Amino acid sequence: MPKLNKILLAEDEPDIRAICTLSLESLGGFEVRTCENGQGVLDCIDEFHPDLVVLDVMMPGLDGPNTLARLQQNTATKDTPVVFLTARNQPADIEWLRRLGALDVLPKPFDPVTLPGAMQEIWNRHVAA
């Protein structure tokens, strides 16, 4: 089973970006690269080669859903799994994001202590599928 090592996170709020990074690196042992929006993901994904991309839905410039669409259109990144971490977590929103191709949707606010485990659980379901 492939191991989850590298996570690329796009989040426009600096505090949330910092909390996610601290949680995923310190508690989860993951290598994390962060960007402020979807364009940042597109700019560094080929060099970083993440196992998993985590996107906020609402970001300035290129938002999460449009970033996912751009990743899916690129043959080099079309199979990179994507998880949304978002405050848009009503059942209809979650269903919409899954229909777009997201592996899963994690709600904000989130518990930094359980975030790495949630990412690992989503990854494990993905690789077992």
Q: Where are the domains of the chain?
A: 6-128
Give, in order, the Cα–Cα distances in Å from 9 to each of 36, 55, 60, 95, 129: 8, 6, 15, 21, 23
Q: Please report, rounded to a whole number, the percentage of residues in the chain having pLDDT higher than 70.
A: 100
Mean pLDDT of the chain: 97
Give, in order, the Cα–Cα distances in Å from 39 to each of 9, 10, 61, 101: 12, 9, 7, 19
In sequence order, the 6+-apart residues with CB closer than 8 A to the CB of 72 are 78, 101
User: Which among 2, 74, 4, 5 has a CA at the least distance from the CA of 38?
Assistant: 74
pLDDT confidence band for 109 (50 / 70 / 90) = very high
Q: What pLDDT digit, counting tens, does each position of 77-103 carry?
A: 999 999 999 999 899 999 999 999 999
Return d(Cα 17, Cα 8) in angstroms, integer: 11
Q: What pLDDT digit, counting tens, does each position of 17-49 carry?
A: 999 999 999 999 999 999 999 999 999 999 999
Q: What is the pLDDT of residue 1?
A: 74
Q: What is the pLDDT of residue 125?
A: 95
Q: pTM of whole model > 0.95?
A: yes
Q: Specify the CATH number of the domain 6-128.
A: 3.40.50.2300
